[in-house]
Amino acid sequence: MDPELKKRALEYLMKTPNAMLFCFCSFFSGQLWVFLITTYLKRTQKGNSYLNKFYSKLGIGGFWLVVFNSPFYFNKHKTYNFDFLIFLDVFCNTLMIAVFVQLLVFIAVTAFFKERKNVK
């Protein structure tokens, strides 16, 4: 990655604490999704090295958080114009809901595959 781009991204994160929180939560959310994908959903090891990278986890987790929080954003602001700074304000309010839903998905997938393994 371009060092100038990294520097500008870091400056932006330092100026916008909500964006840093979003990146932090995206990484750990992505970590959980990558674990679910590589442990339960993928049959082969092919591609795991790409999924297990920092930016992959950040992207997967960010995608989950944006998809989950978008209905809250649209409901609150009644517009389809997307402003990332306003989205970050909504994100901070719905963060616990997103984490709780992801935990429920994790428990459900784990229980399903554990039950499936016991049946065989």
Angle 87-99-89 from CA coordinates, rounded to 5°: 20
How much is the pTM?
0.79
State the virtual CA torsion across 101, 102, 104, 106 in degrees, nearest 10: 170
Task: Cite the beta strand spans of the chain per DSSP E.
Answer: none
What are the pLDDT digits (tens) for 50-78? Answer: 888 888 999 999 999 888 888 888 888 88
Give CA separation, 108 vs 91, 100, 103, in Å. 24, 12, 9
| Contact criterion met (CB below 8 Å) for 12 and 85 | no
Most distant CA pair in the chain: distance in Å?
54
Identity (one letter) of the amino acid at 67? Answer: V
Q: Half-sphere exposure of 11 toward its Cβ, with a 13 Å CA cutoff? A: 6
What are the pLDDT digits (tens) for 25-40? Answer: 899 999 999 988 888 8
Which token pair is 14? 């330092």
